[in-house]
Amino acid sequence: MKRFLIVLTLLVVVGLNNSAYSSTHTFNGQERNFYEDDPVPAIVIEEEVEAEEDSAWTYRFLIPTSVAIAVLVIIGNVIQYFRQVTRKRYKVIEK
């Protein structure tokens, strides 16, 4: 219990201390302004805008085609399973 109180007190003190240093207000309620004017950088670095490239033909055509073929194979396997296994499972016996 004593450790819990010590840890709790430590967290409260650290939290109050952190919020006190990160505040932009002074004690009399006025805002502090760290820079009177925004400083002008010595060198202006402009970011280059990357143009979007077209997808390769393999990505545009080969992948959808292979997905479609895979779906057709799965459907064909389900049909074959029904034809070969399920239909022969039960036999009708006429009396």
Could you give the number of structural domains in the chain? 1
| CA distance linking residue 62 with residue 88, whole number of Å | 39
Question: Which two structure tokens, joined as six digits, stand for 52?
Answer: 């979007």
Question: Which two structure tokens, joined as six digits, stand for 66?
Answer: 């292979």
Using only C-alpha atoms, what is the Rg of the chain? Answer: 36
pTM over 0.75: no
**Residue whose entry in the numeric block shows the structure tokens 């239909």:** 87
Q: List the chain pLDDT tens, one digit each, 95 residues.
A: 777 778 677 666 666 665 555 555 555 555 555 556 677 777 888 888 777 777 777 778 888 899 999 999 999 999 999 888 877 777 777 87
Q: Domain span at residue 66? A: 56-89
Domain-embedded: residue 43: no
